[in-house]
Structure 1
Amino acid sequence: MGAAVGRWFPKGRPQTVTEGLLAVRRQLDKDRPLPDFLIVGAQRCGTSSLYKYLEAHPLVVPSLRKETHYFSHHHAKGEAWYRSHFPSRAYRTVVRRRHRREPLTFEATPAYLFHPWAAERAAALVSEAQIVVLLRNPVDRAFSHYHHSVRRGWEELPFEQAVAVEPERLAGHVERMASDPSYRSNDFLRYSYLARGFYADQLERWATHFPRERIHVLRTEDLFDRSMETYHGLLTFLGLPPSSPPELANHSYRGSSRPQGAPMPASVRHTLIEIFAPHNRRLSLFLGRDLGWDE
């Protein structure tokens, strides 16, 4: 037994339970089904809550981890590593027999929307997947992102100064990521407060790899202000029957909408509204509806 265990848990570094399970799953079932749909973003928009909302559906079997980061950070680990995050065909058969309907599986990595390679990589492997995007007022998203970086110890500048120096901080990183698929940048993750809110650019990139009719865009504000209507609309898009999930337990949006510390100065908010306005107009044209974020 000890030798067998050693095969799954290499010597020299500790293994978490999840890592051990993934190692076993890679060996036992290298042909696990790939996800039927992906939640691709955006960061700080409530994707953790949406993930929990969906995993409560009886015909949804989620990934072992909410965020696999396969199409962003871990693509070099290979398809078998990615498949190991999803339920086996045998388990899906059990669910199908129980409910007399084919279940769906998914993962939710909010970094995918902004990552320059994620859409192309996803299309190469899961070309038939449906794409779900959750978008929040980019001004509020930027402020939430900033406070997240402060809590993590990454950010020491005041918010107004942090957004002012963002172009300098990100200079070269986006271009290098676009030209070098193996390049990873912490600054790209931590300090892209405004850039991640230029949603039209990101959606247009995804739409070059996936048909528009398979991309479903939700407003974060609607998910929490009109929860059931928005949730049922998503189920319809995914081809799932109606369900009555437990009350949404938000882990990222409601708390981050009231960040600790001083509120955003009105003058800063006004400036950011002006910065985002042309991007929001492009987004409205792309979606064919006004998102109501220019106030």
Structure 2
Amino acid sequence: MDTVQLTALKSRVPRWALDAANGASRLGGLATSPNRPMPDFLVIGTKRGGTTSLFNYLIQHPGILALYPQPRGRKSTDYYFADSGRSPRWYRSHFHTETFRRVLASRLGYRPQSFEASPYYVWDPRIAAKVAAAAPATRSILLVRDPVQRSWSHYQERVQNGVEPLTFEEALAVESDRLDGELERMLTDPTYHSTTWDWYGYRRRGEYLDQITTWLEHFPREQLLVLPSEKLYSDTQGTVDRICAFLGLPEHRLPTTKPYNATWRTKDAPPPAAAAQLAAHYQAHNAALEEFLGERLDWT
């Protein structure tokens, strides 16, 4: 069942029933948390890079488990956010039990894997260390999208959500001032979650190699797979097959490869002057990323 189907189903169920069912599942998950392993892998970003689509493609695989209980359709717990205030027991309660996995493995012929997906995880420089401390064997998948298009899509989302009053050009002009001091405060105060850092890093969030380098300070290179978002949409099956190889899972033919986030296909382009400014800014960043990946990125 995909996200659209879940939304339609929930619209027909009374809110009190959903709350009661969710509460019961959380209590059950907490009671059995010692039998619930940490996730095998994470999708860690990037924002506006196709995380929602990738989540929905992956859960079509019989050996990949979404969050427990699976019909909720959520893709992330936000556990590693600085202000989550949640315990490891609470986090484990969101993943399927080892008992269930053994039963499923007896049918599949291999051990199923669980995961969550949050585009914020790679962007907060404190999170890699937290993941490594909690589960050092975790594998991670990062989607990287043409940073000019990603920046524009990010801005549009903020406008649609009612938290961006500026034009795109104005927002880019004041980005450094908006973010000034936020990273330093985050690094000084482990409990501080910066919505400013999350919401308004339109240009900086597309500087991918810096984020990758931070992640690799805590994980070996072979535990991180970096994929261009454009490949996810132009060759969905091939990209998912590549992910299966990375995870050590058999390939699975997807029943559908439709995009799950229509904003990816937005038809309007960023303002030409702003796009040119961003393209110039990212030229060196993109070249360094191409060298790191050993792969040509056909970006703006």
Q: TM-score, normalised by structure 2?
A: 0.88
Tell me if 1:94 matches 2:98.
no
Instruction: Tell me what 1:213 maps to.
Output: 222
Q: Identity percentage over the alignment? A: 36
SS of residue paired to 1:70: coil
Structure 2 alignment gaps of length 5 or more: 1-17, 69-73
Q: Given the superposition, is the C-alpha separation of residues 74 and 250 from structure 1 closer, same or farther in structure 2, using an over 3 Å criterion?
A: farther
Tell me if 1:145 matches 2:154.
yes
Structure 1 alignment gaps of length 5 or more: 1-13
How far, CA to CA, are the matches of 2:24 and 2:118 in structure 1? 21
Instruction: Tell me what 1:255 maps to.
Output: 263
Q: Which amino acid aligns with 2:51?
A: T
SS of residue paired to 2:120: helix
SS of residue paired to 1:270: helix
Aligned with residue 80 of structure 1, among 89, 94, 101: 89
Tell me if 1:55 matches 2:59.
yes
Shift of 1:264: 1.5
Shift of 1:129: 1.1
How far, CA to CA, are the matches of 2:170 and 2:78 in structure 1? 30
Aligned Cα RMSD in Å? 1.7
Aligned with residue 228 of structure 1, among 237, 258, 265: 237
SS of residue paired to 1:111: coil
SS of residue paired to 2:116: strand
Q: Contact 2:149/2:270 (CA < 8 Å) preserved in 1?
A: no
How far, CA to CA, are the matches of 2:24 and 2:182 in structure 1? 33
Instruction: Tell me what 2:4 maps to.
Output: none
Tell me if 1:267 matches 2:273.
yes
How far, CA to CA, are the matches of 1:17 and 1:170 in structure 2? 40
> What does the per-residue CA deviation read over 1:94-127, in whole Å, with 9 as the maximum and x for residues that have no partner?
2111112111111111100110111000011110
How far, CA to CA, are the matches of 2:85 and 2:289 in structure 1? 32
Tell me if 1:46 matches 2:50.
yes
Instruction: Tell me what 1:170 maps to.
Output: 179
- Judge which range, 55-64 or 148-157, deviates more: 55-64
> What does the per-residue CA deviation read over 1:51-94, in whole Å, with 9 as the maximum and x for residues that have no partner?
11111101111223311111224553121111011011121112
Instruction: Tell me what 1:6 maps to.
Output: none
